[in-house]
Structure 1
Amino acid sequence: MLEPDPKADLHRYLQLAREALLWKLDGLSEYDIRRPLTPTGTNLLGLVKHVASVELGYFGDVFDRPSGVPLPWFEDDAEPNAHMWATADESREQIIGLYHRSWAHSDATIDALTLDTIGHVSWWPSDKSRVTLHRILVHMIAETHRHAGHADIVRELIDGTAGLRDGSVGMTQADPAWWETYRSRLESVAREAGRA
């Protein structure tokens, strides 16, 4: 019988979310990974930049393990929302490299500390700022999966690709005509319910 290892389980779910988020960039042009496809500017490369950046903070500064990776988009004089998009000078390779450095630093923190290790989130309200590694792992799993969900929708808007990973079995396997019929049916149901 396998012995439960809560830290390994949490770490695995975090890694699955990281990989799902990064996969959304595969096969797309520089333009497509940067395209703002919502009114608030949500874009794929920006989501990766954001998650990489906040992960460095949560598994670094919170536990007195600073990464030393410069994050100029979080400086006081940075442009608002600068962590949510990549400039033309920030390449895909740089942002992906940042995310991989973030993983390595976070994984070292996760490996070095116990789940009950206490940290301090200086940017949270003082009554909630004292945290454990366990809580931060859960927080980052939720944060990363949330943004992977955003990325899933943005990627679907770009080229129709959807799912957790390449070859994902979580989606109904159907041709484009079936999906159009399905979508039209949902639109009809929504109109009917809206009139009721």
Structure 2
Amino acid sequence: MIDAFAKDNLHGRLRRDREALLWKLDGLSEYDARRPLTATGTNLLGLVKHMAGVEARYFGEVFDRPSPEPLPRWQDHDGSDLWATEDETRDQIVESYRHTWEHSDATINELPLDAPGHVPWWPEPYSHTNLFAIMVHVLGETNRHAGHADILREGVDGRTGMRPEHETQIDQEARAAYRAKIEQAARSVASARA
């Protein structure tokens, strides 16, 4: 009974957070979806591309259920899984992510939580795992990168929220006043302790 509840709960949260990550691309120009927004080059479309590879490998290779689609290069020294090349379209990357969901969902639906898996890129003894641990791991990765996307999108145009129904109209004046209040508190503490 608890296994079914845990599996459904984790799977539901994974579905929700996948959509949240994709929503961060809505309404952006090609440039804003692709441009590096941090010193390390992190960008919104690259996060989606990366998560497609993460899910395909964890819910595919780990359970000997290889992805039916070719996988993007992953964790290469050049970081090519974290940005969209000039010949990759946004639609291709989003479609690849959505196809990966189908494959991942099939793995989740068909295997029990204690189904054994092997993560060859994890050190021993952790490389021998199960579906439950992988679901928790991938949910954590998805949350982490959706959080990155939240911050990046806020920096591009001020849009915040996890899903469209949580988005509110941005009151620029109130937001600036709130930020100024936090800045003042930080400066006050810093000068008092200097």
TM-score between both structures, scaled by the size of structure 2: 0.93
Deviation, 1:71, is 2.2
- In structure 2, the residue matched to 1:24 is 24
- 2:117 is paired with a residue of what secondary structure? strand
Distance of aligned partners of 1:70 and 1:4 in 2 relative to their CA distance in 1, 3 Å threshold: closer
Q: Structure 1: any 5+ residue segments left out of the alignment?
A: none
- 2:8 is paired with a residue of what secondary structure? helix
Deviation, 1:79, is 5.8
Does 2:191 correspond to 1:180? no
Once the two structures are superposed, what CA deviation does each residue of 1:139-186 show, in whole Å capped at 9, x if it has no partner?
0111001000000000001110011011317x7x76110110000010
- 1:5 is paired with a residue of what secondary structure? helix
Q: Distance in 2 between matches of 1:168 and 1:142?
A: 21
Q: Distance in 2 between matches of 1:97 and 1:69?
A: 11
Q: Distance in 1 between matches of 2:70 and 2:166?
A: 35
Question: How many pairs align?
Answer: 190
Q: Distance in 2 between matches of 1:137 and 1:74?
A: 19
Once the two structures are superposed, what CA deviation does each residue of 1:20-64 show, in whole Å capped at 9, x if it has no partner?
000000011100000111111110000000001110000000000
Q: Distance in 1 between matches of 2:14 and 2:156?
A: 26
- In structure 2, the residue matched to 1:117 is 115
TM-score between both structures, scaled by the size of structure 1: 0.92
Question: For structure 1, which segment, 16-25 or 63-72, has the greater mean C-alpha deviation from structure 2 after superposition?
Answer: 63-72
Q: Distance in 2 between matches of 1:74 and 1:160?
A: 31
Could you list the structure 1 runs, at least 4 aligned residues long, displaced by more than 2 angstroms after superposition: none
Q: How does 1:83-162 map to 2 (within 5 A)?
A: 83-162=81-160
Q: Structure 2: any 5+ residue segments left out of the alignment?
A: none
Distance of aligned partners of 1:174 and 1:35 in 2 relative to their CA distance in 1, 3 Å threshold: closer
